[in-house]
Amino acid sequence: MHELPVTKSILNICEEEVKKHGMEKVIAINIRVGELTGLVPASIEYYFDIIAKGTVAEGAKINTKKIPINIECKDCGESFECRKGVYNCINCSSHNIKITGGREFLIDTLEMD
Ligand SMILES: [Zn+2]
Please work out, in degrees rounded to the nearest 5, the angle formed at the alpha carbon of residue 16 by the alpha carbons of 48 and 106: 60
* Residue 84 confidence (pLDDT): 64
The Å distance, Cα 74 to ligand 1 centre, comes to 7
Please write the tens of the pLDDT for every residue from 4-48: 999 999 999 999 999 999 999 999 999 999 999 999 999 999 999
Ligand 1 is an ion; its neighbours by CB within 5 Å are 73, 75-76, 78, 89, 91-92, 94
The full set of domain ranges for the chain reads 3-112
Is the pLDDT at 82 greater than 80? The verdict is yes
Ligand 1 center from residue 94 Cα (angstroms): 5
List residues forming the annotated binding site for Zn(2+). 73, 76, 89, 92
Q: Tell me which architecture the domain covering 3-112 has in CATH.
A: 2-Layer Sandwich (3.30)
Helices 41-51 and 3-20 sit at what angle, rounded to 10 degrees? 60
